[in-house]
Every structure is written in C-alpha cells, then in structure tokens.
Amino acid sequence: MQKIISVALDVPINKLFDYYCDNNNAKTGSRVKVPFGNSTRIGLIVEISENLTKKSEYEVKGIYELLDEIPILSTELLKTSKWAATYYHYPIGQVLFNCMTPIHRKGKAEPKKRNNDNPPNKPIPLKLNDEQLKVSNSIYRDIDKYQVNYLRGVTGSGKTEVYTDLAAKILKNNGQVLIMVPEINLTPQTLTRFQKYLSINPQEYHSNLTPSQKFKVWNACREKNKLIIIGTRSSIFLPFDNLKLIVVDEEHDQSYKQNEKFKYNARDISIVRAKNFDCPIVLGSATPSFESIHNINIKKYKQYKLLNRYFKSK
C-alpha cells in the first residue's frame, strides 16, 4: 500500500521532504535512499501519512530504497531531536544526522554483530561515609521518576563515589546509566574509578573513537539492558532504550557546549532526555553555573551538599 513519508535530509533547510513509499516495512526512524534534485541522498523517515492527497510545494517522487526494516532511531530520540531543532533553531535533518554513527550517515548496512563482551569484573566493595550514603539513598528512593538532583560538594568530597553507588544499584536491576564528563582526557580516569566497583566494564564514547568503535557502543545502547556509558557531550545522542540515570559531572564546564555547526548544550539536552525517560538526572559540581543556582533557588532542582572530604582525601 502506497503512503507518503516525510523525510529528514542532512541539508541546511529546516523542513521535511515528502516521498511516495509502497514498502509496508517503512517505519519512523528508518533510513531511506531518495532522489533530491539531481543527486541521491540518505534520509530518515520522521512521519508517515496514508493521505495520498496531501498537498506539497513540489512534485512528489518515490523513494529508491528502504535501508532499514528495523528503525535505527527510537521514538524518544526523534522526540528529543525535534525539541533540539526547535530550541536551538537548527535544521531538523542535521540534528537527526548528529544522532547517527558515520556508518549510518553514509547509508551503509549495519556491521554484523559479534559477541565479544568482556568477562564480568570482580568488584571491590564501595564504602561510603554517612553523608554520601544519605545522598545516594535519597536519590535512589525516587529512581523511577524524573527529578533534577544537584550534588554540590567541595573537591575531594566524594561525588564520584555517590555516582558509582547509584550506578551499581541500577545495573543490579538491569538498567542503563550514562555518566557524562566534560573532556576526553577525563574519560580514562573515570573509567578506572567506576571499573573498580562495578560488576561490568563501563564503555567509553567520544570523538576519538573509530567509526566501528562508535557503532559498537551505539548498538549496545539499543540492545543491552545492563549498560554503563562514560562519555563526552556527543554521548547524549546515543540511542538508549532502558535509560535509568544520567549524571553530568562538572555541569558548569563550558566543554558541554558545542560551538560549531549544530550549537547545543549537552547538559540541557540531558535534562530533556531524563524527562522523556522519566528517570532522575544528577548534576554535580563544586562551582555551580548561574543557571543551576537560579534553578536551585526556585526549587526546580533538588540540592544535596557534601561538606566534608571523602575519608582521608586531601
């Protein structure tokens, strides 16, 4: 049965383009190969309409090929991308292509999946002081609903241990966790610290990975319920399926802002995604941004404080 599909293209035009499609397997979030002017482009289906009399400013052509029978982007990620395109005044197609791996953008088939998971860790027990334990337990009590929690603590107060304790509890219940750090060079030390206390190995995600490495992490977000990602700002566009907690460490850091092409603040998009998943988000810093101080003052964010050093840290 023929339908009209509205397709987002990676072009600097803030609109969708209509095409005829007679493939019954076409779904929103799937890629298609379409004619565009004198060229052939890769596009993403955003809307599907059965109304063949839908008015269009141009002659509607048919697609060349449906590339994915299983959508590569979820309904939630489409919703987040539409919000970002409107909020940041950026073409919807270029926002959506920002959510894809280089392999997807080129229209290539997804690589064959290999089962090469690392063996489980033997975690060492994580000991929290009374102050940390109180914060962790309070946040975890409302783990099934959206809430912006602000963890304000001096350097060395053990904010990372609170994040780790929350992550361990969620992984025990087969949930996904995203830990965001501002800089790539902070990723190795953060990975090591989490690895000590968790039963599974965290996976890293940032711009220095190869296309195949990016795809491996990207695909794990769709398929693995039990997962922890430690990544920079680009990790906020990963296609999570079962996200239960987001942590934005050093939320005040300017590195969370993308200043080229699609300009966005990953901290703000992470709050939107937490709301879409109906899960808590923890923003952490010793020096909160002005926006966060304002949101704490108007009771939009729930603030927790760590006033003491963690055990014997200097």
Of 269, 255, 194, residue with least CA distance to 230: 194
A 10 A CB-CB count for 226 gives: 15
- 220 has a pLDDT exceeding 70: yes
Helices (H) and strands (E) counted in the chain, each on its own, are 9, 15
- Complete DSSP assignment for 31-82: EEEEEETTEEEEEEEEEEE--TT---SS--EE-SEE--SS-SS-HHHHHHHH
Of 237, 241, 266, 272, residue with least CA distance to 252: 266
pLDDT interval class at 50 (50, 70, 90): confident
Matching CATH topology for 3-105 and 130-306?
Answer: no
Residue 151 Cα to chain centre, angstroms: 21
Q: For the chain, give the percent of residues with pLDDT over 70.
A: 95
Q: What is the mean pLDDT of residues 150-176?
A: 93
pLDDT interval class at 57 (50, 70, 90): confident
What would the CATH number be for the domain defined by 3-105? 3.40.1440.60
| 91 neighbors 205 (Cβ within 8 angstroms) | no
- Condensed to tens digits (0 to 9), the pLDDT of residues 103-160 reads 999 999 888 766 666 667 788 999 999 999 999 999 999 999 999 999 999 888 889 9
Q: Burial-class residue 57 by CB neighbours within 10 Å (0-12, 13-18, 19+).
A: exposed
Q: Which two three-digit tokens encode residue 208?
A: 């220095």
Lowest mean pLDDT among 17-21, 28-32, 48-52, 125-129: 48-52
- 72 has a pLDDT exceeding 70: yes
What would the CATH number be for the domain defined by 130-306? 3.40.50.300
Q: What residue ranges do the domains of the chain occupy?
A: 3-105, 130-306
Q: What is the mean pLDDT of residues 243-252?
A: 97
Which pLDDT score, from 0 to 100, does residue 122 have? 85
